[in-house]
Structure 1
């Protein structure tokens, strides 16, 4: 057996590029005897003949049968069997693309490497190129065109980063905003050599409802730090195809981020991976393999100096505990929907002087409840409308694009009553400290701090009451509820139904049975008795919420009136204040 070198190669088709470049460089260097290159591609690669482990047998036989030197390229995702891994030398990891590597590739047809290196974009710009971008630029046969394409794509990437928000554009995100500023400051200190990589926070998990601005915040962190942002999500990975393709796409995102470090890897909708201990038996094997692969990749990424990991989820309870444990995720922070200050900052940046500060303040007050993405998209749509009309952008254009051209006072009041009901119930039942209440044409939100864990039957019953207090407030004052309480999987009714089912079938706290049912949602559909018991529990909680709010009728009306007038009530750590006695002694009609 001759000398053997094992190289770990990132996914994304780079193994073929690496093999071709390595062969050309070795041939140019006159290696004697000639070096043989063997590529082991990951499963799911259309060019891989069967399973990677099947290709190992003939590969090892070829290596053992000759004294010629070999280079074994192993694509990410190929697990060498223990006996073979022990026989081969420890693998070397291919470093990130840099100017010298690209110059060496361009110099294969002649020319000084140092001269070529000086004509290329800097290393940071080259590291930010995706494998596809690099391949696209080098497709030309003429070297000057290759270099020009590399510069053009690098400028385009830089322009995209420049158009991203920075933390200077972020305000009103509380704990998440503070954590973001600390992370970027630490990353700058690490790059300057003032602190060790192990001394800083290297990963954050953003938790918040859809549209709260988690992606916006991740992009702002990367732009502020001046490093590439690599984005991945369960939805994008699953779109690659079956399980093997999906895992390969996942590994490609991580490999691209590791090669680009210092960089930010943003994992959106990470709760889509699910929980291996979930009661849902559907696709359990698939879910387990996805989570196991994700854990392995998080561990590997966590050992990469300069790679910051940001993840986002809507439902922390749906996320596998192993993903969010310390060591993989350093800190979990809540991201509330953007408030007035955040909306003003977002609109100010996107409008770039097109509207006055007064006009932006007016828009921000009416846009409470809109997501950062909706605000961003609305400004683009408004600019398009103004261009089409051949005139300057106006506040009316933005308002129309946001669906705010006409405010409906009746809708605002209904939403205000709904959120006031939630806030009062949470305060009365000590389910959490109300920090902020917001309302707008797009809906409302109550931000709670110091949440009480759901441990006992009383805790769960109180939580049911709080979830249904918004609907109860509407019924109490307006005579009926509306569709908002049951719109979507994240709605009040959906959450309350889930708790009612778990009380009956999972936690053994119903008083009827200690049996644990693995899939309570399926029982809701298939068992009328379960549906009846869950419905009875929900109706009891709704009656209790009505009684609680009827006793606080003056407080409910006072809080709703304030919300209609102010749109945002910031309570801070003091919690929600109760108003003084009502001189007119208004009570439930």
Structure 2
């Protein structure tokens, strides 16, 4: 078999050759020697050039006359005019393969010439096993192949050794993955959005966006069906910036972080506008991507500008609006704005077609606070202490909880041991049990709310409660509550 495919020297090339031959089953005229132009859509995680070696090998195998066939690589960087010219040079070939990357829109005159369009499939377990056997004389079982393919394939190819069992490569991959994971945790790398807590409706929106982006990349939905603009609001410390970063990791796409303050730091008005234009262009060039603009309220509302620099501020807002309008024509760019005060944002920024969706991120609930604290500590805390923790962290933001975790780790580190519940308690405000007269006073207070609701019968009473503990730190902390609704 190696004599038939002399150019296929690596497992990757052999595996890709298998995917190519399988795709061409849908183009029997091409395989049979008849005139045929085939468009091959490259998977989103690959470049067209990845298929260069296997395409050349196919040419050699199917025909000794290279003038009979040709193949062309179309990349995302190619301009429509360049694509047309390149294909004109090869259009006289009787059989032509066009490898096209996902982000490319073919010019109409090219699309009209296509006889068959086929999606190139990712490398399968069988493709992987064939590649290992032919290129490196490695006999991998299906189970071993599946285990290897859980890692990035470029890492797997580097770990393989010609003629040696795959078990050694798997061991090296596992060790490298463990070290990488440990290093990421030590650097405080954010988890995926799906593993984070306290974001409420924003998390739901983000996970739906991640799925929509996958569907868009597969070509199953149009970009117009993707929700491409949102404003996140909430008090300081709730994690609006963290949310955007975690969402980017969830989607597996880059994030470009910006703000008016960053753009202004570049100099005068012309420099500011240039920096703004550069970030929007960078987001487009990196598509699919997220452009995150923090402190969106810093742009202000043009209707309330009265200061000496009114003309300057109006130009800044107008330029920003111009870029927002351009998002409709820039496929792959998701715009996220963040603010502590939604009321200060120019209404034009929030109008339909721009950043018209708004989601508020509240302070985390008691359950979320405990989950966030455990995640920041990297360990679970005994459930019997959860009620005390909930009381001690009432009103805490995600940033507050991250500080608690850092302080507790520092206490444990100085003692040269793992974090204990005592370390967490030490760095938290004093936890005071609600008992005796204070508890009775709270009970009377909440009973008054309950009686008021029941007697007036203007809404439905759901119940009342008093917490077991409160904290002594000079901040207002709820000790109980009555719950009702309409």
* TM-score between the two structures when normalised by the length of structure 2: 0.50
1:221 CA drift (Å): 1.7
1:205 aligns with 2:231: yes
1:370 aligns with 2:285: no
1:311 CA drift (Å): 0.9
Deviations 1:253-281 (A, max 9, x none): 32332222212221111011101111542
1:239 aligns with 2:265: yes
Contact 1:348 1:360 in 2 (8 A): no
1:388 aligns with 2:414: yes
Q: Give the Cα separation in 2 of the matches to 1:162 and 1:280.
A: 44
Match of 1:312 in 2: 338
1:341 CA drift (Å): 2.7
Q: Give the Cα separation in 1 of the matches to 2:241 and 2:465.
A: 23
SS where residue 232 of structure 2 aligns?
strand
Q: Give the Cα separation in 1 of the matches to 2:261 and 2:465.
A: 32
Contact 1:369 1:438 in 2 (8 A): no
1:207 CA drift (Å): 1.9
1:327 CA drift (Å): 0.8
In structure 1, list runs of 5 or more residues that go unmatched.
1-94, 97-121, 123-154, 444-481, 485-559, 576-589
Contact 1:167 1:224 in 2 (8 A): yes
Which of the residues 473, 479, 486 maps onto 1:564? 479
1:358 CA drift (Å): 4.4
**CA gap 1:328/1:387 in 2 versus in 1, 3 angstroms:** same
Match of 1:397 in 2: 423
Q: Give the Cα separation in 2 of the matches to 1:367 and 1:249.
A: 41
Q: Give the Cα separation in 2 of the matches to 1:437 and 1:212.
A: 26
**CA gap 1:345/1:570 in 2 versus in 1, 3 angstroms:** farther
Contact 1:271 1:315 in 2 (8 A): yes
Correspondence list, 1:78-227, <5 A = 159=184, 163-227=189-253
Number of matched residues? 291
Contact 2:391 2:471 in 1 (8 A): no
Q: Give the Cα separation in 2 of the matches to 1:268 and 1:199.
A: 25
**CA gap 1:404/1:483 in 2 versus in 1, 3 angstroms:** closer
Deviations 1:357-406 (A, max 9, x none): 544564244212111122223323332332233121123433454x4245
Q: Give the Cα separation in 2 of the matches to 1:266 and 1:189.
A: 22
In structure 2, list runs of 5 or more residues that go unmatched.
1-102, 105-151, 153-179
**CA gap 1:405/1:324 in 2 versus in 1, 3 angstroms:** same
Correspondence list, 1:179-578, <5 A = 179-278=205-304, 280-353=306-379, 355-359=381-385, 362-401=388-427, 403-406=428-431, 563-565=478-480, 574-575=485-486
Match of 2:36 in 1: none
1:301 CA drift (Å): 3.5
Q: Give the Cα separation in 2 of the matches to 1:365 and 1:215.
A: 26
Q: Give the Cα separation in 2 of the matches to 1:368 and 1:243.
A: 44
1:193 CA drift (Å): 2.0
**CA gap 1:304/1:210 in 2 versus in 1, 3 angstroms:** same
Match of 1:509 in 2: none
Contact 2:392 2:429 in 1 (8 A): yes
1:340 CA drift (Å): 1.6
Match of 2:11 in 1: none
Q: Give the Cα separation in 2 of the matches to 1:438 and 1:303.
A: 54
* TM-score between the two structures when normalised by the length of structure 1: 0.42
Q: Give the Cα separation in 2 of the matches to 1:249 and 1:171.
A: 34
Contact 2:392 2:431 in 1 (8 A): no
Q: What's the C-alpha RMSD, in Å, of the aligned pairs?
A: 4.4
Q: Give the Cα separation in 1 of the matches to 2:347 and 2:323.
A: 16
SS where residue 277 of structure 1 aligns?
helix
SS where residue 410 of structure 2 aligns?
helix
Contact 1:169 1:346 in 2 (8 A): no
Deviations 1:436-464 (A, max 9, x none): 99997699xxxxxxxxxxxxxxxxxxxxx
1:171 CA drift (Å): 4.2
Q: Give the Cα separation in 2 of the matches to 1:190 and 1:332.
A: 23
Q: Give the Cα separation in 2 of the matches to 1:404 and 1:396.
A: 13
Q: Give the Cα separation in 2 of the matches to 1:233 and 1:359.
A: 41
Contact 1:347 1:360 in 2 (8 A): no
Q: Give the Cα separation in 1 of the matches to 2:471 and 2:219.
A: 49
Contact 2:466 2:480 in 1 (8 A): no
Deviations 1:125-175 (A, max 9, x none): xxxxxxxxxxxxxxxxxxxxxxxxxxxxxx89x959992133333445443
Deviations 1:500-539 (A, max 9, x none): xxxxxxxxxxxxxxxxxxxxxxxxxxxxxxxxxxxxxxxx
Q: Give the Cα separation in 2 of the matches to 1:175 and 1:381.
A: 30
1:182 CA drift (Å): 2.1
Q: Give the Cα separation in 2 of the matches to 1:564 and 1:180.
A: 34
Deviations 1:59-114 (A, max 9, x none): xxxxxxxxxxxxxxxxxxxxxxxxxxxxxxxxxxxx99xxxxxxxxxxxxxxxxxx
Contact 2:381 2:421 in 1 (8 A): yes
Contact 1:271 1:314 in 2 (8 A): yes
**CA gap 1:338/1:198 in 2 versus in 1, 3 angstroms:** same
Contact 1:367 1:442 in 2 (8 A): no
